[in-house]
Chains A and B, each alone.
Chain A
Amino acid sequence: MTFSPIRHDLPSPLVAADQPLSADVMGRSWESIAYLWQVTTNSADGRGTALAAPQGHTHEGVRDQTLTADSQTLTAWPCGFGAPNVRADSPFSPDPVSPHYAPNGGWADGSATLTPIRSVIHAPFAPAPAAIGSNAALRSQVLIEKGATLSAANAVTITVTIDGVSLVANSANAAAGLEAIQVGDWAAASLTKGGPLEMLIQISVPSGDFARVWHALVLTP
Chain B
Amino acid sequence: MATLVIDPRPEQQGSNAAPQQAVRADAFAAAWQTIGNSYETLTTGIAPGNGGRTVAQVHDHSTGGKGAFLAQPPSRWQGFATMGDEGTAATAHPFALTSTICWASLLQVYTDQGLLLVLRGNTGSANGVNKPSSDLNGLTLELDGVPMLLGFEPTGALDWAIAVGLGVVTAGVHTLALKLSTYPAEGVAWGIYGAEVWSESNEQVRLDP
Contact = CB atoms under 8 A, between A and B. Distances in A.
Interface string B174-194: 010100000000000000000
Contacts of B25: 10, 15-19, 21
Contacts, number: 265
B76 to A, nearest CB: 5
Contacts of B146: none
Given A1-B29, A216-B106, A89 B83 contact: yes
Nearest to B76: A81
Nearest to B89: A89
B50 A54 contact: yes
A107 interface: yes
Contacts of A75: 110
Contacts of B54: 54, 63, 129, 132
Nearest to A100: B80
A98 interface: no
A10 B28 contact: yes
Given A43-B49, A81-B77, A148 B95 contact: yes
A187 B57 CA distance: 22
Contact of B32 (A21, A36, A219): A36
Given A20-B24, A180-B173, A63 B55 contact: yes
Given A143-B104, A147-B97, 12 more contacts: A19-B25, A36-B31, A51-B52, A59-B60, A63-B53, A64-B36, A66-B208, A77-B110, A81-B78, A122-B68, A122-B69, A145-B101
14 contacts: A7-B37, A19-B24, A50-B49, A54-B53, A60-B58, A62-B53, A83-B77, A87-B85, A88-B100, A88-B101, A89-B90, A147-B95, A217-B76, A217-B106
